[in-house]
Amino acid sequence: MLFNSFHFVVFFVVVLALNQSLRPWPVAQKLTLLAASYYFYGQWNWLYLLLILFSTVTDYAIGLGLVKARRPRTLLIISLAVNLGVLFFFKYANWVIANWNAVDTLLGSDLSVAPLDLLLPVGISFYTFQSMSYTIDVYRGDSPPRRNFLDYSLFIAFFPQLVAGPIVRDGEFFTELDRERRVDYTTVRHALVLIMLGYVKKIVVADNLALVVDPIFDATTVQGFWDTLLAIYAFAFQIYCDFSGYTDIAIGCALLLGFRFPKNFNYPYVAESIQEFWRRWHMTLSRWLRDYLYISLGGNRKGSGRTQVNLMLTMLLGGIWHGASWNFVIWGGLHGAYLAVERSIQKRFPGWNSDRKIMRAFRVATTFHLVCFAWIFFRADNLAAAGRILSSLATVTSADFQVDRHLGLALLLAMLASLQFIGHAGFKRRIAESEGPLFVGALTASILAMIWLTPAASAPFIYFQF
C-alpha cells in the first residue's frame, strides 16, 4: 500500500478514528494499531508477514534471555546471525549467485548455479536493522528487555515507518508508547504541515523530476552533455524530495497517532562537508551505522589510519545495505573515500575550515557536487549504465545547450537548491506555528499544487526497494 494512493488515505482515516475512539482502552488501541500495521504490510504480500513474525518472536525471546543467560554474547550472536541470515537470503543470495556465474563463465568451468525464485520483501532492511538495534541495546545494558509481546510486536511492525523508516530505537518508541499520547491542536497543525508538504515533495516535485531523470538514466545509448548533467542534478533533488517526502508523511501520520519520531532529514544540500551531509541525510541510518558499526570497529580511538579504514568499512556496509549491486558498493565506497580524504584535508589545511562566506559557499558547492557524482552510481541500474552516464558527461559541445529545453529546468533546479537554505532557516516550523493566513494558505497551496501539477503516473517511493 503506497502512501500516495487513495487506498492509504482511506485506511489511515479509519485507523486514526479507531485509535482516538479506543484511547480509554490502551490494550485494544495497541491491538488495533498492530492489526492495521499487519494489514498495511500484507497488501504487498501476505506471505511475508511470516518474516516479520519470525523476526519479532526471535528477538523478543532473545531479549528476555539476554538478562538471564550465563553467556549472553552467544544469544546476541544468534540474533545477529538470524537477522542477517534472513536479510542475506532474500536480498543478496541472487546477487552472489550472479557474481558466481559470471566468474564461472569467465573461467570456462561448468559450475553455474540457477538463481532463486525470490521476491524481495518490502522494507526488510529497515525492520531488520530496527530489530537488531533492540537486541544490541539490551545486550549492552542500554535498554531493558520489553516483556510485553504486544508492545514489542508493535515496535517492529508500526506501519508509518515500517517500510522506509525512520529507523526508530526501542527506547524512543517505547517512551512514546508508554506515555499518555494526547493529540492537541498544536500537534495536529505540525502533523498536517508535515503530511501536506511531504505529499507535495513526492507527487509534485519528485514524480515530475522522474520524467526528466528516467529517460536519461534508462537510455541504452550515450546522451547529450546538458541533458545528462541536468538529469544528475535533477536526480539529486528527486531522491531528496521522494525520500524526505515519505519521511515527512510517516512522521506526520505517527504524530496524529500520538507518536513523536526522530527527524530523518535536515536539508542535507546545505552541508559544508560530507560528514555534515551524513548528519543531515537519512539521519537515523547514519546514527545506526555510527553507533552499531563504526564505534564497534573502534571509531576514531585507534589512530588516524585505523579511523580511515573504519570509515571506509562503515560506508561500504551502508552502500551494500541499500541494495545487492556493485553500483551500491561503489556508491558507499565513494562516500567512505570522501570522508577519509576530507578528514585528512581538515587536519593538514586549517584554512579549509575558514568561516569566511566565500569559503563556506565553496565547501557547500564542493560537497554538493561530490554527492551528485556518487548519485550516478546509486541511480544507474548497473555498471554499464553508469559508464554511459560518465561517457555522456565527456561529450560536451556548445551546440548541445538548447535554451527552450534546458534553461527552464536549470532555473527550477536552482530554485530547489535555494529552498534548501530557506527551509533550513525554519520556514516549515513557522508555517506549523502560525494560526493565521500563512498556515491556511500553505495547506491550500499544497492541495492546489497536487491537483494541478501531479503527473499522470506516480512512481513508487524510491526507498521502498530497500
b/e string for 87-110 if b means 16 or more Cβ within 10 A?
beebbeebbeeeeeeeeeeeeeee
**Could you tell me the CA-to-CA distances from 242 to 10, 161, 193, 325, 438 in Å, in that order?**
22, 15, 16, 21, 25
Q: 267's torsion region: left (phi>0), alpha (psi -120 to 50) or beta?
A: left
CB neighbourhood size of 307 (10 A) = 19
| Secondary element (H or E) of residue 91 | helix 72-91
Angle at the Cα of 50 (from 46 to 53), degrees rounded to 5?
A: 125
Is residue 325 within 8 Å of 382, Cβ to Cβ?
A: yes
- Indicate which residue of 7, 322, 369, 406 is catalytic: 322
In this structure, what C-alpha cell is assigned to residue 318?
A: 551502508
Angle between helices 26-42 and 149-157 (to 10 degrees): 40
In this structure, what C-alpha cell is assigned to residue 266?
A: 535536515
- As a whole number of angstroms, the distance between CA 224 and CA 394 comes to 9
Angle between helices 170-178 and 124-140 (to 10 degrees): 90
**Nearest to 242, CA basis, from 365, 439, 378, 384:** 378
SS3 at position 317: helix
In this structure, what C-alpha cell is assigned to residue 254?
A: 505517527
Residue 322 falls in the annotated catalytic set: yes
The residues assigned a catalytic role are 322
